């Protein structure tokens, strides 16, 4: 089930056309001045770094230690944010006169954040401990560092706990009155650099700050928008050999503008690959090396690790799906999966993929001994951090934000965590269904899909969390044509028609939905420019769709084929069963009901009555069992949990109900009276005894089915009857004649079924 949600109401901003005004308003822009600031980011919009609580103390301590060239250790994290933070901090402390080393914990051996063993080891190597992208919850570890004689500065951006560590300085944009609380770890470290050395020095580090800001999925508004905008330009023109090598190995054009999407989907995964599968040290070395040859070698290594990561990620996700095969998700509001041997560096990616697939908040945990470590990702608008904060007493470690969390817990507490996590999500929902929320900015006509309008969208870049790439709703477009494309036919090439306008688009990953594509759609799309063979055209990218006024097209041929596909299964259930007759449908909730229609007219009537139900043709495999209207779908192709099954056209034989009950044993069956459409459908397949005798004589004379009956589906119905009474053998559409014998078609169950 999916819900289309408009981000904001249409509005007008003086000096800006409505097309752009609505997009700006949806991103929190309310005045013309705010629009100017948003569309033209300026370094003047950066906040004074000394507004950050603890900054004055941190700067004073670093300067004092720098004067005597003290040793410092920078304690970071193994993701892009932690890696970039560490290098920014190292450059900053080195420029202040300190001697620095970077320490990145091993994800698999040490986990996230500070740990006691590392602190004991590092206390003899450095006088100053500076944390980046971690430390805000490390009360015990920082207390030990202080006891062992270290000075400690914490820079972090994660949710502060009620009790803060007793460090010499704690810098976190969520503390105090800082005007923008949504910096990432690297953004926070960059503000320390700005405070110590001024803006001219810090500008040189904007490439790293932007890399992390985009990769860490913090809102790209306010200061983050400034950092990302100027930083993306720095990445494209970078003097860092490591960044240039990474761009090259990622297949991006060097010296050309780098978009936020390219950072998120090309650069960041490769930098993360080391920390996920091995050590993050390679990514650290890549970004800080001054040797182009070393940079090329490290970039290639990370590229190979990323390919291995993709392979292992697919395997992990397959394992998760296998665990869910025998689990009913019909009334579930969350997913928690746990197993031994899962790569702790990949469980977050798997959780994200499952949350996207099932529209359920998800935790994926890796067990090692008596402990589990893992990550969670949200769905359906659930604040994941708040949901799990209510379970905090079960965690040994816990942190994150509304969209993603990380945790460590005891194996013995998993059943209780599963129960309380489910209840916390239910409490947040307050009775609303948990569905995929597809957000769009405004309604658009096909005539608005122009090169000029698409270029206007570029003014809103960089896109990311808080400033998503604009999406638009097409209302009531006709699907002119569609075809599956790609090496594995995973994608869908489509043409939409609206009035006299026709526009082409692509639906990545929509190939399997080809058969279910309604003739008229409400479609959420993004716009882009397609460049092919020196031809530039506007196009749309399909994000989601719902059936519009007409959900199903009349296809009597397909209706007959579908019915005949079901005949064998129906006849395998020899004992008929009663079915509840109903004149009205009493559908409750958003899940668990199947409205099964044999005929297009009935299916479209159901869609008129229940416009929010999913529609499907050919098969139904929704694991969550969202309410659905099925048409031209063989009964054996229904693989979804179901509590209420409605024969909306009525049953054409009581054995049909028995067949459905065998397929869906948990379902309560309901049936309307036979519709006139179903009566006509059955009649179109029926043969008299005389007609069957004539067909048999023609077949013995050497004619094929298509010659005997130009209506192939009706001819195949006759052939199935003749096969059942032992006069022929069917092999697909070919026929083998058997020895002549006396037989009566009225003994055929198919004959009786159609009668």
**Total residue length of the chain:** 755
- 7-21, 349-363, 568-582, 606-620, range with the lowest pLDDT: 568-582
Q: What is the pLDDT of residue 30?
A: 87
pLDDT level of residue 19 (50, 70, 90 thresholds)? confident
Tell me the per-residue pLDDT of 710-743, one tens digit each, with 9 for 90 and over: 788 888 889 889 988 999 998 877 889 999 999 9
pLDDT level of residue 587 (50, 70, 90 thresholds)? confident
Looking up tokens 């650099």, which residue turns up?
193
Closest CA to 288 of 224, 211, 229, 344: 211
Closest CA to 592 of 566, 614, 619: 614
Helix (H) or strand (E) holding 143: helix 139-147
Closest CA to 187 of 200, 175, 205: 205
Positive or negative: CA dihedral 122, 124, 125, 129: positive
Tell me the per-residue pLDDT of 91-114, one tens digit each, with 9 for 90 and over: 999 999 999 999 999 887 887 789
What mean pLDDT do residues 3-9 have?
Answer: 84
Closest CA to 133 of 60, 216, 72, 200: 216
Question: 26 with 38: CB under 8 angstroms?
Answer: no
Query: ω before 462 within 30° of 0 (cis)?
Result: yes
Q: CA-CA distance, 7 to 4, in Å (whole number)?
A: 10
Tell me the per-residue pLDDT of 664-722, one tens digit each, with 9 for 90 and over: 999 999 999 999 999 999 999 899 999 999 999 988 888 887 777 778 888 888 988 99
Domains and their CATH numbers in the chain = 2-37 (no CATH), 49-204 (3.90.1640.30), 329-434 (3.10.310.30), 439-547 (2.40.50.460), 556-681 (3.40.50), 686-754 (no CATH)
User: Percentage of residues in the chain with pLDDT exceeding 70?
Assistant: 99
- DSSP state string for 453-470: HHHHHGGGPSPBTTBPPP
Within 13 A of 248's CA, how many CA atoms are on the CB side? 15
Average pLDDT, the chain: 91
Decide if pLDDT at 1 tops 80: no
**DSSP-assigned letter for residue 264:** I
Q: CA-CA distance, 328 to 364, in Å (whole number)?
A: 18
Q: What is the pLDDT of residue 191?
A: 98
Q: What is the pLDDT of residue 238?
A: 87
Decide if pLDDT at 574 tops 70: no
Tell me the per-residue pLDDT of 60-101, one tens digit each, with 9 for 90 and over: 999 999 999 999 999 999 999 999 999 999 999 999 999 999
Helices 185-197, 222-236: axis angle to 10 degrees equals: 80
Q: What is the pLDDT of residue 82?
A: 95
Q: What are phi and psi of 237, to 5 degrees?
A: -110, 25
Q: What is the pLDDT of residue 551?
A: 92
Q: What is the pLDDT of residue 230?
A: 96
Specify which residues 132 forms β-bridges with.
Answer: 155
Helix (H) or strand (E) holding 211: helix 206-215
CB atoms within 10 A of CB 702: 8
CB atoms within 10 A of CB 579: 20
Q: What is the pLDDT of residue 70?
A: 96
Q: What is the pLDDT of residue 351?
A: 96
Within 13 A of 439's CA, how many CA atoms are on the CB side? 16
- 303-307, 480-484, 583-587, 642-646, range with the lowest pLDDT: 583-587
What mean pLDDT do residues 582-611 have?
Answer: 89
Decide if pLDDT at 585 tops 80: no
Longest C-alpha distance within the chain, in Å?
110
What mean pLDDT do residues 267-292 have?
Answer: 92
Tell me the per-residue pLDDT of 529-564, one tens digit each, with 9 for 90 and over: 888 777 888 999 999 999 998 899 888 889 998 988
Q: Residue 519 to residues 522, 546, 739: CA-CA distances in angstroms?
A: 10, 10, 48
Question: 718 with 665: CB under 8 angstroms?
Answer: no
Q: What is the pLDDT of residue 665?
A: 92
Strands 395-400 and 404-410 come out as: antiparallel
């Amino acid at each position: 089930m999916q819900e289309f949600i408009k981000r904001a109401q249409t509005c007008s901003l003086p000096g800006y056309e409505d097309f752009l005004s609505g997009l700006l308003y949806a991103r929190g822009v309310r005045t013309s001045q705010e629009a100017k600031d948003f569309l033209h980011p300026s370094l003047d919009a950066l906040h004074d770094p000394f507004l950050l609580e603890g900054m004055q103390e941190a700067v004073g301590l670093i300067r004092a230690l720098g004067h005597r060239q003290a040793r410092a250790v920078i304690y970071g994290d193994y993701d892009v944010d932690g890696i970039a933070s560490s290098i920014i901090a190292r450059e900053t402390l080195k420029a202040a006169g300190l001697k620095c080393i970077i320490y990145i914990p091993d994800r698999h051996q040490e986990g996230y954040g500070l740990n006691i063993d590392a602190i004991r080891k590092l206390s003899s190597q450095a006088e100053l401990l500076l944390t980046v992208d971690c430390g805000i919850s490390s009360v015990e570890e920082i207390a030990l560092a202080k006891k062992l004689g270290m000075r400690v500065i914490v820079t972090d951006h994660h949710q502060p706990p009620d009790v803060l560590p007793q460090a010499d300085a704690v810098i976190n944009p969520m503390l105090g009155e800082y005007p923008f609380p949504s910096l990432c770890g690297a953004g926070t470290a960059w503000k320390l650099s700005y405070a110590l050395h001024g803006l001219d020095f810090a500008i040189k580090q904007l490439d790293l700050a932007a890399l992390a800001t985009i990769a860490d999925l913090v809102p790209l508004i306010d200061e983050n928008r400034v950092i990302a905008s100027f930083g993306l330009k720095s990445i494209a023109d970078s003097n860092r050999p490591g960044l240039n090598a990474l761009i090259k190995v990622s297949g991006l054009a060097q010296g050309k503008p780098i978009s936020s999407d390219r950072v998120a989907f090309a650069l960041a995964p490769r930098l993360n690959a080391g920390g996920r599968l091995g050590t993050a040290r390679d990514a650290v070395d890549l970004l800080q090396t001054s040797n182009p040859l070393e940079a090329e070698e490290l970039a290639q290594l990370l590229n190979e690790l990323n390919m291995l990561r993709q392979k292992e990620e697919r395997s992990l996700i397959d394992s998760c799906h296998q665990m869910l095969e025998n689990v009913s998700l019909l009334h579930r509001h969350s997913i928690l999966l746990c197993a031994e041997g899962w790569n702790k560096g990949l469980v977050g990616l798997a959780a994200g993929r499952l949350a996207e697939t099932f529209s359920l908040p998800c935790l994926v945990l890796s067990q090692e001994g008596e402990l589990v470590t893992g990550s969670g990702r949200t769905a359906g608008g659930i604040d994941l951090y708040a949901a799990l904060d209510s379970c905090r007493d079960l965690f040994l470690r816990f942190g994150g934000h509304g969209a993603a969390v990380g945790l460590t817990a005891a194996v013995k507490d998993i059943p209780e965590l599963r129960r309380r996590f489910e209840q916390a999500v239910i409490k947040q929902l307050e009775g609303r269904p948990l569905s995929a929320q597809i957000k769009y900015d405004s309604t658009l006509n096909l005539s608005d899909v122009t090169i000029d309008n698409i270029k206007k969208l570029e003014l809103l870049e960089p896109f990311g969390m808080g400033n998503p790439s604009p999406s638009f709703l097409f209302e009531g477009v006709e699907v002119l044509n569609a075809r599956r494309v790609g090496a594995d036919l995973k994608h869908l090439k489509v043409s939409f028609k609206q009035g006299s306008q026709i526009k082409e688009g692509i639906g990545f990953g929509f190939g399997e939905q080809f058969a279910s594509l309604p003739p008229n759609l409400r479609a959420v799309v993004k716009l882009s420019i397609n460049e092919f063979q020196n031809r530039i055209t506007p196009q749309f990218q399909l994000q989601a769709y719902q059936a519009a006024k007409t959900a199903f097209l009349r296809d009597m041929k397909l209706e007959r084929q579908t019915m005949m596909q079901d005949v064998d299964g129906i006849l395998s259930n020899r004992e008929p069963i009663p079915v509840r007759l109903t004149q009205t449908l009493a559908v409750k909730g958003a899940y668990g009901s199947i409205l099964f229609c044999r005929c297009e007219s009935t299916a479209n009537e159901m869609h008129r009555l229940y416009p929010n139900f999913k529609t499907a043709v050919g098969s139904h495999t929704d694991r969550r069992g969202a309410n659905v209207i099925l048409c031209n779908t063989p009964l054996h192709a229904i693989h979804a949990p179901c509590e209420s099954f409605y024969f909306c056209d009525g049953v054409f034989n009581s054995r049909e109900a028995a067949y459905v009950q065998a397929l869906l044993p948990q379902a309560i069956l309901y049936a309307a009276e036979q519709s006139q459409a179903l009566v006509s459908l059955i009649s179109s397949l029926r043969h008299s005894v005389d007609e069957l005798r004539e067909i048999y004589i023609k077949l013995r004379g050497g004619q094929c089915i298509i010659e005997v009956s130009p209506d192939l589906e009706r001819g195949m119905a006759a052939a199935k009857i003749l096969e059942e009474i032992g006069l022929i053998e069917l092999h697909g559409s070919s026929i083998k004649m058997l020895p002549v014998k006396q037989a009566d078609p009225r003994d055929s169950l198919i004959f009786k079924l159609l009668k």
